[in-house]
A and B are shown apart, each in its own frame.
Chain A
Amino acid sequence: METLDFIQLDPVNGIYLFIVGFVGGLVSGFIGSGGAFVLTPAMMSLGVPGIVAVASNMCHKFPKALVGAVKRARYGQVDLKMGLIMGLSAEAGVLTGAHYQELIKQRFGDVGSNLYVSVAFVTVLGIVGGFVMRDTIRAHRLGTTEEEKPGRLAQWVHGIHIPGTMVYFPSLGRRISVLFTIPLGFATGLLAATIAVGGFIGVPAQIYVLGMNSLMASATELVIAFVMGVGGTIKFAWSGYVDIRLAMIILAGSLFGIQLGAIGTTYVKPYVIKLVMGVIMLTVMVSRALVIPVYLSQLNWLPPMAPETMHLMKSVSFSIMILALFLGAGIILRALIQGRRAANAATPDLVADPAT
């Protein structure tokens, strides 16, 4: 086994990881996913080797997802059966995605691998994020922000009966074929292995393909993330790549965040979850689109770029990625504060005074 250089931890690095972990946890607790994508580059910026950063990120994600799932299950938002079925198929997607990654790395090296990841980011986030955002804006314009109804695709899925594959899911209040949930779980895992956030497919798929409401979909995604995270952590820890100190420091911040994010879901209208997801996805898409020319240039598929320009574009890209996370967190905190004020005004005894 190769010898790994684990970094020396100092208080400044610790506080930095704690804060990024908190903001990431807040987003994950609210939309079920999407808070961890910035952690791998954040750790690498401290000098942590890439594989250790990925492994340690994974090791903080599964306990975070567990705590978030338990919390949101108490609010009646989790469909455990759906989470486990999709989680297991996502595990297969993770293994397949990791295999593709290895093949691309062998064929095109680190730059080719980075290009593949960035193109996947831009394509998936552009299409799915654009769709989520369009749906959110339309719901806001039509004033249909209070309740969500299954769309045409979900209604079609509900109408399909394939003998021997039908399973009852409490979140849908009906039986649907697992031949729909398994590929969606697989795609979630595939994306998780590629861009570290499977929920950018998992949550919209549960909403638009299966017809689940946003609250249930984002909460159930935490179960999927837990199942994927345990499997991924074992895979990386088997090779000794996990830096447990880094993982637990990030977890320290993210558990504060995930509790707050989960509480926030009880104060907002369901469309706010889509809004946060759409904003994060589209901002991250811009961030990753910026570095694609850099990788194309390094592969000599575009004219060479000055090292200073490459460095600048990578720095701007990383800053926009952090901005995406903080934008999402800002919307969540604003919605939480407004929701608490409204609830407080309606029933002062319930919210303002915990002693009652």
Chain B
Amino acid sequence: MDGTVLPAIDVDHLQVSYGSQQVLHGVSLSIASGEFVAILGSSGCGKTTLLRTIAGFQKASGGSIRLSGRDVVNVPPEKRGMAMMFQSYALWPHMTVLGNVGYGLRLRGVPREEIRARVASVLKMLNLSGLENRKVTALSGGQRQRVALGRALAIEPQILLLDEPLSNLDAKVRIQLRSEIKSLQNQLGFTALHVTHDREEAMTMADRIVVMEAGRIAQVGTPKEVYDQPASPFVASFMGAENTISLDVTPAGSGVQIRADDGSMASCIDSVPIGAVTAYFRDDVASLEDPAARIDGSIILPGRITQRTYPGGYYRYVVAIGDRHFSVTDDRYHELDRPVGLRLPVASLHLFPTEQTKGGLHA
């Protein structure tokens, strides 16, 4: 041993195909022990395939998967020693809660009395005490997924795989379970790999986020990095920056000058791509000002409010500028059809050369 700590999961150039269709195009990812990583992506991007290949349910057509240094590409799922939670809970309906949670221990030849004791302590941890002899079909959705979590944790796994386990639950239970899973992970120290299409879920639970696009990794980083500094138009748009506008960037003195089609401009000293760019921005970075206002470091685009909704806490407006529509949130109340200036702080815009954004996939 050279003393270096091996990653809990190390995926190297992993390729997976369904028949002639390649789904994963050489994915490489390293996850440290005790880390919580979320794989985020839209439907069909290959995130579930990646998880299922790591679990052993899908065969890899190339590359390697090492768990703490052990190559498991050709190891059947039952010998990989991981636990998994499924979207459909996947509880065994013919068994009681005790039977479900204790099954992994039974497979490991743990004596019956010890299984009872260990299941009781797992259920206590999950606030399910006393439900040992209840049929799982008689439980609510949230309770079922807690039982599934208990079943996975009862074998004290090093690695927990989560395949969208919260997406079938109602909003309140989902938020509650998010924090329960996260705090159990902190407490028990297992490595977690969580597949989800829910951005907020990934942001709140994970130490690192992996954004996938069309069978490739688009960006890996902390939630803040991925949110604030998206590496590509796809990531920007997936992380909520769904408003786009074409701008022109020209060098000016020590910085650059950014100009919109209607002539409004702002200067900036950050390093941004030169030439025709597309700016991506979230509705909360833009704000509504007077159309004639001039603010340093911001572009003000004159437009008209066409729609107003109140989702709670703030208003959401749709502003028409020419034939384009932008979504903006603002705390203040504005009348419909009122001329306004859409303020875009240049520092908060994600700028990508227009060439790069052409033909790109948007979430």
The answer to whether A and B interact is no
